Amino acid sequence: MKRRIARFAVVCSIATSVAAALAHADAPPSPAKHPVAAIQDTETAAQRDARMAWWRDARFGMFIHWGLYSVPAGYWKDKPVPGLGEWIMNDAKIPVADYKKFAAQFDPTQFDAHTWVSLAKAAGMKYIVITSKHHDGFAMFPSKANPFNIHDATPYKHDPLRELADEARRQGLKFGLYYSQDQDWTAPGGAAMDGRWDKAQDGDFAQYLHTKAIPQLKEILAHYHPDVLWFDTPTKEMTPQLASEIVALLNQYPQLIWNNRLGGGYPGDTETPEQFIPPQGFPGKDWETCMTINDTWGYKSHDTNFKSTDVLLRNLVDIASKGGNYLLNVGPDSHGVIPAPEAERLRAIGHWLDVNGESIYGTHPTPFADAHGSFSSTEKDDNGKPRWIPTWDWRATSKPGKVYVHLFEWPGKTFHVADATVHATGAYLLADPHHTPLKVTQHGEQLDVQLPAKALDPIDTVLVIETKAG
Ligand code: GLC
């Protein structure tokens, strides 16, 4: 129940910042609203397009939740703890001193940056975002600002973020860091959304920010030069004034992309729908659905509820058809290993992308008006609104001169659309090495393409429709 309230609060705070961001899109930005103007307040539209260009083309990224919570792996005092793996300290109300003891057991000797980055690359992912500090306050990097970190508090002593940042860049991937700026359950004064449970947590939020969060943000920005900074769970403690101190720091890195979860009324760059795909996306805005591959972000040894490759791939396509990015999470264990069922699914998606990548990367949303779903009259979502029930027949993405129709269900002899505002000049299947021309007939907005008898791919066969303007 507690967890549900916390999640609801997250959704509400995101909904508020979404509303703020939308209000922003209509009116010209007014830097005066913020104590310190952020990059989004001051840059021109062309500067913004240039800053966001790689991110908009990327479409697919790897989220990695890795931290001390991988040691208990979902168990406390030999009992499974329901909920998210990385929330175990909160959910089991583990005292600060006891939680800190996990550090002595954290020795991920099997961690290998090359293996992880190569997996992301094989999956067709273009960027990585890894937790540098989650709500438990444990820093996954050597930190002079606070001793509760991987270098000073564990037998491991390495700097996995250094190795990952370097390897990601070597393999041509962008590198981003998640940092829990607001919640911190082991630092006095750090916020705890569900309420504190240990006297050791008592303290002043501003002081926590000044002595831990801001100094650590300085460290990670200076040491790893992340391309993305991913904030989380803003609470009301993060006033506009306090948030503006962080913004002043972010402003020193003018290429940085940061999400809408800083707090203090700053909308950031990206909307972050969590665990769902918005029915219409966020037209005209940059957005990224973050999603777990099973039911937890941080590793839980007994969570084997992995989504199938079909579901994951369809999600990627659905998101791309609405102009968003898919940030798909993996949860490595305390030895430093990404669980095999997760790696296996990522590789399968990568094989599909090897053939069909041009229908995803750098694409624009669907040019068709089909909704591919409807709102349920009986079921409600987490916000109490009617739940969106998608249909999984097909989706479309586009590029100048091409529409990519992703056929999840083989429609039979013809693919038909009734609202084709494009002018079709030809068609072929992307997975057909010869790109054999398919017969196209168009009468006004009625478009038909003749298909071969069988799909070429069990999950998604991409039909390319060539178009010309007018
Ligand atoms: C939530 C959770 C957190 C997770 C994040 C990812 O807000 O609090 O554990 O890191 O979502 O989006």
Residues 10 and 273: their CA atoms lie apart, in Å, by: 11
Q: How far is the CA of 342 from the centre of ligand 1 (A)?
A: 19
What does the buried/exposed string (b/e) look like for 298-313 if buried means 16 or more CB atoms within 10 Å of the residue's CB?
A: bbbeebeebbebeebb
Which residues in 134-168 are b (16+ Cβ under 10 Å) and which e? bbbbbbbbbbeebebbbbebbebebbbbebbbebb
Task: State the angle between helix axes of 214-224 and 160-170 in degrees (0 to 180), rounded to the nearest 10.
Answer: 40
Of 118, 116, 122, 96, nearest in space to 333 by CA? 116
- Return the pLDDT at 19: 38
Q: What is the structure's pLDDT at 383?
A: 83
- Does 373-468 match 14-359 at the fold level? no
Q: With contact defined as beta carbons under 8 Å apart, do 230 and 176 qualify?
A: yes
Burial 338-350 (b: 16+ CB within 10 A, else e): bbeebbebbebbb
At 443, the amino acid letter reads: H
3-state SS class at 57: helix
Complete edge-to-edge strand list for the sheet that includes strand 414-417: 414-417, 446-450, 440-443
Q: Measured between alpha carbons, how far is 201 from 193 in angstroms, rounded to an integer?
A: 12
* pLDDT score recorded for residue 10: 39
Identity of the amino acid at 7? R
Given this model, what pLDDT does residue 14 score? 39
Q: Where are the domains of the chain?
A: 14-359, 373-468
Please give the distance, rounded to the nearest whole angstrom, from the Cα atom of residue 201 to the centre of ligand 1.
20
Q: State the pairing for strand pair 440-443/127-133.
A: unpaired
Q: Say which CATH topology domain 14-359 has.
A: TIM Barrel (3.20.20)
Strand pairing class (325-330; 286-291): parallel
182 Cβ inside 6 Å of ligand 1: no
pTM value surpassing 0.85: yes
User: Going by CA atoms, what residue is nearest to atom 7 of ligand 1?
Assistant: 233
Strands 174-179 and 127-133, by their bridges, are: parallel
CA distances from 285 to 229, 255, 305, 404, 454 (A): 18, 18, 32, 22, 37
State which of 130, 140, 193, 232 you would mutate to test the pocket of ligand 1, scoring each by most atoms of that ligand within 8 A of its C-beta: 232
Closest-CA residue, ligand 1 atom 4, reads 297
CA of 231 to the centre of ligand 1 (A): 10
Q: Which atom of ligand 1 is nearest to the CA of 183?
A: 8
User: Tell me, what's the pLDDT at 369?
Assistant: 86
Return the DSSP state at 308.
P
Task: Say what the pLDDT of residue 30 is.
Answer: 56
Ligand 1 center–CA 117 separation, angstroms: 22
DSSP 123-168: TT--EEEEEEE-TT--BSS--SS-S-BTTTSSS----HHHHHHHHH
**Cβ–Cβ < 8 Å for 176, 228:** yes
- 84 CA closest ligand 1 atom index: 9
Q: What is the DSSP letter of 103?
A: G
Mention every residue, 6+ apart, whose C-beta is less than 8 A from residue 349: 123, 124, 309, 312, 313, 316
Q: Does an H or E element contain 464, and which?
A: strand 461-468
Torsion angle, CA of 6/7/11/17, rounded to 10 degrees? 50
- Say how many Å lie between the CA of residue 232 and the centre of ligand 1: 7
Ligand 1, atom 10: nearest CA belongs to which residue?
297
Query: Which ligand 1 atom is nearest residue 275's CA?
Result: 12
**CATH code for 373-468?**
2.60.40.1180
Of ligand 1's listed atoms, the one at least distance from the Cα of 178 is: 10
Rounding to the nearest 10 degrees, give the CA dihedral for residues 458, 460, 463, 469.
180
Cα 328–Cα 460–Cα 436 angle in degrees, nearest 5: 135
| Atom number, ligand 1, closest to the C-alpha of residue 134 | 10
Q: What is the pLDDT along the chain (470 residues), one digit of tens a residue?
A: 334 333 433 333 433 343 334 334 444 445 568 999 999 999 999 999 999 999 999 999 999 999 999 999 999 999 999 999 999 999 999 999 999 999 999 999 999 999 999 999 999 999 999 999 999 999 999 999 999 999 999 999 999 999 999 999 999 999 999 999 999 999 999 999 999 999 999 999 999 999 999 999 999 999 999 999 999 999 999 999 999 999 999 999 999 999 999 999 999 999 999 999 999 999 999 999 999 999 999 999 999 999 999 999 999 999 999 999 999 999 999 999 999 999 999 999 999 999 999 999 999 999 998 889 999 999 998 888 899 999 999 999 999 999 999 999 999 999 999 988 889 999 999 999 999 999 999 999 999 999 999 999 999 999 999 999 75
Confidence (pLDDT) at 21 = 40
